[in-house]
Amino acid sequence: MKVSRYNFHVPSPKEAGVHFLYNSLHDNRIVLQDGDVTVDTLFSKIKEHRPLNPKESLVAKDLKEMGYIVDEDVDEKRVFRQWLNQRVTNQNEILTVTILTTLACNLRCTYCYEKEKLGKSRMSPEILQQCVDWIKTRIRTMNPRKVNIIFFGGEPLINMEAIRNFSKEVYPFCLENKVEYSAGMATNGIFLTPKISDELKDYGFDWIKITFDGDRCEHDKKRIYKGGRGTFDKIFSNLEDISGKLKILLGGNFDKENVESFHSLVERISKSKFKNDIIATNFKPIMPEMVEAKGELKGIASSCVHCTFQDFEIRKMMELRETTRKFDLHPTDPINTGPCEYYRRNAVTIGIDGKLYKCIAFLGINGTEIGDTAHQEFNETGEAMLNATAEHEHPMCEDCSFNPICAGGCRADAYNTTGDFKEISCQRHYFNKTLTEELPKEYYDAAEWAEQMGGV
């Protein structure tokens, strides 16, 4: 037998002889304490092919059942490739479609990547019908268990008519075919009203993504109307007015200027009427623009375009996760992050012109279209993007424990930094720092909570 190449080991920062183990292939997280068997000695013996004593053999058997130890002849790289191909790339259980119905936006956020492209462009009725037909055909062909629809912009609510017309066809079609349906949108929240929220619910919507860029003062410097006026109070008020109607994914974009104000933002939101609507919170650094290899800005980037972070950014994300956890606003899992939707054949983004892209980060970048709504098949670029698996052979990834949650990193980030989506966008530094802190924290926070509950 041998030790899994996908193990990550963190010694406790508080207690000698306590070890936190994580296996990225199986997403297992356990705590071990040295006793008659010590973790370091056990793993050393296995690596050196030395015989184990009876107690070590019993522990090794348990660890093998959880994937931390595997048989000598197991090719874990091949196991991962098979899993990636069967359960991610070619899985037919879920169809996810992100739809850009308009480029128009009522705001002019200071860091917005789209501000040079914003206008009055909207998806035409003809292209919208092609989207509907494309999705219906896809559902008939793949027979999914669930369909996820995400509206994106611009500001999607500017083109509410397109949302209505789309939903009136696709939502009942899914219900008739006994396919679970979920719809949501990324909105700035300015046009949200109780009436609009009720209408969205009637169309199968159950969530919205809302972004605050810090507390009122800092937010109002970045997320502004065309004339420069701040938007914090309007968004906050609208969310309180629609509380209880839609689930909220809470996001935020920070830099060195506004990052500290997020702590007071979280505290403010924890006292709001919509606090219980929040199902996940994720605050991330403001990202660089998506560019072509020649350097000319072409794409419509997003908050998920970049997954390689600097030490300052990692530290602040950890601090904000702790604040979010303290006020019970459900921080997203910083560890189990991928492989992302990019790798799924049945996850696509549709632009206002009916062109298909692998994810929203590539929208508008010439040469990255993977097809269009007039055809079900992907073009050559689409197939190449789906099979961008250079990470399995890349020297940078040879001894990395994180391939199953990374798969070579964000392809949009790789394209942005190297001009080639097949290249590596290494996230090892992020995972090393995050796991080293998060694994012990998960354990000790749970232990503290259990102790408090025991005293009630």
DSSP 99-167: EE-B---SB--TT-TTTTT-SS-B--HHHHHHHHHHHHHHHHHH--SEEEEEEESS-GGGGHHHHHHHH
Please report the pLDDT score of residue 307 as a whole number: 55
* Residue 122 identity (one-letter amino acid): R
Question: CATH 3.20.20.70: does it fit domain 90-380?
Answer: yes
Please report the pLDDT score of residue 294 as a whole number: 44
Handedness of CA 315, 316, 317, 320 (dihedral sign): positive
Answer for the pair 243, 208: CB distance below 8 angstroms, yes or no.
no
Please give the pLDDT value at position 386: 86
The pLDDT value recorded for residue 183 is 98
User: How is the chain split into domains, by residue range?
Assistant: 2-74+429-454, 90-380
Q: Note the pTM of the prediction, 2 decimals.
A: 0.90
pLDDT in tens, 390-448: 445 677 787 889 988 888 888 888 888 888 888 888 888 989 999 999 999 989 988 88
- Name residues of the chain where pLDDT drops below 70: 113-120, 288-308, 336-338, 389-393, 453-456
pLDDT at 387: 81
- CB burial class (10 A; 0-12, 13-18, 19+) of residue 390? middle
Contact 186, 149 (CB under 8 A): no
Please measure the distance between the N-terminal and C-terminal CA atoms of the chain and give it in whole angstroms. Answer: 46
Q: Supply the pLDDT for residue 300.
A: 45
d(Cα 274, Cα 341) in Å, to the nearest integer? 29
